[in-house]
Amino acid sequence: MLYPTPIAKLIESFAKLPGIGIKTATRLAFYTIGMKDEEVNDFAKNLLAAKRELTYCSICGNLTDVDPCNICSDDSRDQSIILVVEDSKDVSAMEKIQEYHGLYHVLHGLISPMNGVGPDDINLKKLLTRLQEESDINEVIIATNTTADGEATSMYISRVLKPAGIKVTRLARGLAVGSDIEYADEVTLLRAIENRTEL
């Protein structure tokens, strides 16, 4: 079915968002059209404000509305540890557990030789500069996903930092809480054995 041009363009815009297929985009477009004018104006204002007012922290690269970000300017955090993550969503996930109290560094991507993304294409130089300038840091925790690109990035960072005498660790991997061993794949089981802890 062909839609009037304004609706078709709105559907097309929603469909460009990650994880939004054409059916969901169509539902969102028609829902938006049915909203009150004030709600649509607020939605548009919030979208524009987020785009205009947010920036990346000049220290860690996290998404923020103040520079440096609230985490980097918090003196109560452990200044000796940096947790390296792929993007700002990972910072939010770690902050939700309220157990990590160190600093962060956001890479904004991963090294991906297959896609032509090298170390210079992500926020890695700033991490290396930061480690040279901040003498208090004695551990870097790499918290990239356990994909091929995540592993490649992890290995590269480890190789670069080891000669500097900085302790480099990786988040433990293995069986998820509540999962059954019989359904786990071989790599997950291998990681679970390698990262076992004493009781």
Evaluate whether residue 140 is within a structural domain: yes
Closest CA to 168 of 179, 180, 159, 177: 159
Total domains in the fold of the chain: 2
Same domain, 45 and 81: no
Closest CA to 110 of 151, 81, 140: 151
**Structural domain range at position 87:** 76-170
Evaluate whether residue 191 is within a structural domain: no
What's the pTM? 0.81
Two tokens at 106?
């956001």
Q: pLDDT per position in the chain (199 positions), as tens?
A: 589 999 999 999 999 999 999 999 999 999 999 999 999 999 999 999 999 999 999 999 999 999 999 999 999 999 999 999 999 999 999 999 888 999 999 999 999 989 999 999 999 999 999 998 887 899 999 999 888 899 899 999 999 998 888 899 988 777 677 777 677 777 777 777 777 766 5
| Distance between first and last Cα of the chain | 62
Task: Report DSSP state, residue 67.
Answer: S
Evaluate whether residue 67 is within a structural domain: no
